[in-house]
Chains A and B, each alone.
Chain A
Amino acid sequence: GAVVSQHPSRVICKSGTSVKIECRSLDFQATTMFWYRQFPKQSLMLMATSNEGSKATYEQGVEKDKFLINHASLTLSTLTVTSAHPEDSSFYICSASYGGSGTDTQYFGPGTRLTVL
């Protein structure tokens, strides 16, 4: 149980275009989803926290107009990188948790490797 999927697994795009990444909780309803970015040989850096039906909470330094997050249902959150540039190339990973006493573990998706040319 507690499986999180991400799509696509890899994407290559041209500079200036937008890319949408989907994160789905397959066998549970995720009250909260998180989006992380991970550069090579570095730790996971939280970008934003999203709760179903409400606006995402962005971490300091993360541009909310550039990284659009939508959490329309309890099983789906999307991250759209708008007007992507080469410096946005990274490994984007989502995680999901379903809260509740003793059941608040974060489960990670497999990640999306974004390359912006």
Chain B
Amino acid sequence: GENVEQHPSTLSVQEGDSAVIKCTYSDSASNYFPWYKQELGKRPQLIIDIRSNVGEKKDQRIAVTLNKTAKHFSLHITETQPEDSAVYFCAARKAAGNKLTFGGGTRVLVKP
């Protein structure tokens, strides 16, 4: 089955700096890669996703890049703010309706 590795497990950045989280996946058939943000005790919220026919996607301060050949994808957060502090999960999925396989999560702390 699919295996998703996520690094780093914790990330501390100064407000205004950039944060980068990297994930690798094992199944070359995976074609959908969402990123979720989860605050303590809350539900995961989809922040951005990318499909395998696209190499990069951006939404304001958040961007995701995908390298299908290397089977890795990354989340980039620019101009970080304290409210960006949360746990971020990457995930991979093979086809619509199939299950998501999650990475282990990255705890991001943005210091004011």
Q: How many residues of B contact A (CB 8 A)?
A: 21
Q: How far is the CB of B5 from chain A (nearest CB, A)?
A: 11
Given contacts A99-B97, A100-B96, A106-B34, contact A44 B46 (CB under 8 A): no
Q: How far is the CB of B28 from chain A (nearest CB, A)?
A: 19
Contact A46 B99 (CB under 8 A): yes
In this complex, how many residues of chain A approach chain B with their Cβ under 8 Å: the count is: 25
A109 touches B43 (CB 8 A): yes
A43 to B107, CA, bound (A): 11
Shortest Cβ distance from A103 into B: residue:
B96
Asked if A111 and B89 make an inter-chain contact with CB atoms under 8 angstroms apart, the answer reads no
Report the Cα distance A111→B44, complex, angstroms.
9
Contacts A31-B97, A97-B97 given; indicate if A108 touches B43 (C-beta within 8 A). yes
Contact A32 B97 (CB under 8 A): yes
CB contacts (< 8 Å) of A18 on chain B: these are: none
Query: Contacts of B32 on A, CB cut-off 8 Å?
Result: 104
Decide if A43 touches B43 in the complex (CB within 8 Å). no
Q: Which residues of B contact A (CB under 8 A)?
A: 32, 34, 36, 41-46, 49, 89, 96-97, 99-105, 107
Mind listing 16 A-B residue pairs with CB under 8 Å?
A32-B97, A34-B100, A42-B105, A43-B103, A44-B102, A46-B100, A49-B99, A100-B96, A104-B96, A105-B46, A105-B49, A106-B46, A107-B46, A108-B43, A110-B42, A113-B41
